[in-house]
Amino acid sequence: MHRVAIVGATGYTGVELLRLLVGHPGVEIACVTSRRAAGRPVAEIFPSLRGHVDLVYVAPEEAPLAEMDLVFFATPNGTAMRDAPALLDAGARVIDLAADFRLRDPEEWARWYGEPHACPELLAEAVYGLPELFREEIRGARLVANPGCYPTAVTLGLVPLLEAGLVDAARLVADAKSGASGAGRRAREDLLLAETADSVRAYAVPGHRHHPEIVQTLARFAEGPVGLTFVPHLMPMVRGIHATLYAELRDPAADLQRLYETRYAGEPFVDVMPAGSHPETRGVRGANVCRIAVHRPVGGDCAVVLSVIDNLVKGAAGQAVQNMNLVLGLPETMGLEGPALLP
């Protein structure tokens, strides 16, 4: 039984990790940390975990993190990069659910996140944790950068087209919508129910932090520069991401349905839907799955890919558990087999 800890286990991704790990047969949650909640039982803050988790939050500096087999960081950007080096030196594995190790270039990281990177020497070692693309690199890795939620949906949706060389990589468009939980569990006026209900709004149109992360990965499969217009939107819902992706086809006669079915054949957490389908976010709520449908409207030269995930599961905690399974040599699907929640 592997012993794991969660640093920052009071946010939405932290409590989602707890929900998934309490029933995982291969690990024991040995420690959960929070400065704000130190000394309080987990079940007091999250009654949904009563009867499942009897742990008490401890302050990070008091937690025996170096004794763990693996440590999850479900913390704000800038935390894991300060603490990970010592844990790695002690022999623990680290999976960071924030952005600290996603970008390879420390100068680009500083440009998007507003501070110098604390351990740039680890950026080359960190493995980008998208198993459908980098499974063999993740197996046994010491340090995994869990992808962002938007990047997961967009990247899985576009990679088959780029791998096959079927589209103009300089003219990609990602129109993406997210539920409010993607903004985290802190209080913000613009996320109040009265501010978000019955309304849809775009945000960060001049540039979103996930843009360089998406482009960095897509360029590896395009084997060259990628031009991406990425526009995120906030939807009046709690969970879910719906990415509508557009790409100009070089060969309009290509069999896109067969391409996607072949690319993701055997992938336990990517579901390529039948031709003509329109996946919904509610169809993946609570499940570690990305559902994809591919279209060529009116038989034209534009491919339209619909990619949906639960931002807290395949877009965060579920993918982190999938990565943990690979890192620790456990079956990749262990603890993640449950279907989506409906309604």
pLDDT averaged per 10 residues in sequence order, the chain, 343 residues? 95 95 96 93 95 94 96 96 97 97 97 96 97 97 98 98 96 96 79 84 95 97 94 95 97 94 98 98 97 95 97 98 98 95 88
**pTM assigned to the model:** 0.96
- Structural domain of residue 8, as residue ranges? 2-125
**Secondary structure class of 30 (helix, strand, coil):** strand
CA distances from 117 to 80, 83, 211, 326 (A): 11, 12, 18, 27
**Secondary structure class of 2 (helix, strand, coil):** strand
Task: Judge if 178 and 282 occupy the same domain.
Answer: yes
Instruction: Provide the pLDDT for residue 195.
Output: 84
The verdict on residue 90 lying in a domain is yes
Task: Judge if 58 and 191 occupy the same domain.
Answer: no
CATH code, domain with 81 = 3.40.50.720
The verdict on residue 143 lying in a domain is no
Residues 6+ apart with CB under 8 A from 214: 150, 151, 154, 155, 174, 228, 230
Catalytic positions, please? 149
Instruction: Provide the pLDDT for residue 193.
Output: 79
Domains held by the chain: number: 2
What gap in Å lies between CA 71 and CA 92, rounded to an integer? 7
Instruction: Provide the pLDDT for residue 343.
Output: 85
Instruction: Provide the pLDDT for residue 319.
Output: 98
Task: Judge if 156 and 278 occupy the same domain.
Answer: yes
CATH code, domain with 304 = 3.30.360.10
What gap in Å lies between CA 295 and CA 254, rounded to an integer? 11
**Secondary structure class of 69 (helix, strand, coil):** coil
Q: Decide if 282 contacts 342 (C-beta within 8 A).
A: yes
